[in-house]
């Protein structure tokens, strides 16, 4: 499925030392390209977070002024910063802006950055929720919504912030990444928000 990535993205990834997708990522990409809602269940180190970040720049091809078009919610400030650092050089190659919003950052500065315009927001659920309810950004043009470590975020009681954002979105693709789908609360949430999602499992 490597050749199914849009060509400029594939070329940029190759510049950064990537040359292929594993089986999990390939299956996820095929379903993502078909417009499916996705639940990816796989262990740590499987490459599911890589796919989640990649899906943003696969979907969002060109810059536009105004509202963001992609969001990725990470479990912690550290993971959000790592994801932002990974995406930044890729996004810059397409003149896409990627903004980072975390709890340890300056909230006013983050809000101002979002007002200035962005295509992709990477952040933690609490800070994203705070900025959203303060009208810090508009969700009207979001086309892809990614939640990393969703099962762990549920265990930490962050589901309210995530669901508030998810339920406010227009029609868009949801991608939920997790180690296990077995928790009853996780299943209940997914059945409520993305009832027809396709599950991609590690083999």
Question: Looking at the domain assignment, is residue 15 inside a domain?
Answer: no
pLDDT value, residue 7: 86
d(CA 55, CA 29): 8
Measured CA to CA in angstroms, residue 202 lies from 20, 24, 34, 40, 173 at distances of 17, 6, 20, 8, 21
Question: Looking at the domain assignment, is residue 192 inside a domain?
Answer: yes
Question: Looking at the domain assignment, is residue 10 inside a domain?
Answer: no
DSSP codes, 109-127: HHHHHHHT--SEEEE-HHH
Structure token pair of residue 92: 């810059």
pLDDT value, residue 189: 94
pLDDT value, residue 174: 97
Total domains in the chain come to: 1
Q: How many CA atoms lie within 13 A of 100 on its CB side?
A: 18
pLDDT value, residue 2: 87
Question: Looking at the domain assignment, is residue 39 inside a domain?
Answer: yes
Structure token pair of residue 195: 């009832």
Give the domain extent around 65.
21-201
Strand order in the sheet with 70-73: 98-101, 120-123, 70-73, 144-147, 173-178, 38-41, 198-201
d(CA 163, CA 167): 6
pLDDT value, residue 60: 93
pLDDT tens, residue order, the chain (203 aa): 888 898 889 999 999 899 999 999 999 999 999 999 999 999 999 999 999 999 999 999 888 877 899 999 999 999 999 999 999 999 988 899 999 999 999 999 999 999 888 999 999 999 999 999 998 899 999 999 999 999 999 999 998 999 999 999 878 999 999 999 999 999 999 999 999 999 999 98
pLDDT value, residue 1: 81
Question: Looking at the domain assignment, is residue 8 inside a domain?
Answer: no
d(CA 51, CA 49): 5
CATH of the domain at 52: 3.40.50.300
Pick the closest to residue 137 from 108, 107, 117, 109 (CA basis): 117
């Amino acid at each position: 499925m490597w050749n199914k990535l849009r060509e400029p993205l594939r070329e940029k990834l190759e510049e950064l030392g990537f040359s292929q997708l594993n089986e999990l990522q390939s299956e996820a990409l095929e379903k993502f390209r078909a417009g499916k809602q996705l639940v990816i269940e796989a262990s740590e180190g499987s490459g599911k977070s890589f796919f989640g970040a990649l899906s943003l720049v696969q979907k969002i091809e060109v810059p536009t002024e105004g509202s963001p078009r992609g969001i990725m919610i990470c479990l912690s400030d550290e993971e959000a910063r790592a994801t932002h650092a990974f995406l930044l050089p890729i996004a810059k190659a397409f003149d896409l802006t990627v903004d980072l919003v975390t709890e340890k950052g300056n909230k006013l500065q983050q809000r101002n950055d979002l007002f200035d315009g962005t295509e992709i927001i990477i952040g933690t659920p609490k800070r994203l929720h705070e900025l959203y309810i303060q009208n810090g950004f508009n969700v009207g043009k979001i086309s892809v919504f990614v939640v990393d470590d969703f099962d762990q975020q549920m265990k930490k009681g962050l589901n309210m912030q995530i669901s508030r954002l998810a339920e406010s979105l227009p029609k868009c693709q949801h991608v939920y990444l997790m180690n296990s789908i077995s928790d009853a609360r996780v299943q209940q949430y997914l059945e409520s928000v993305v009832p027809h999602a396709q599950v991609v499992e590690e083999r």
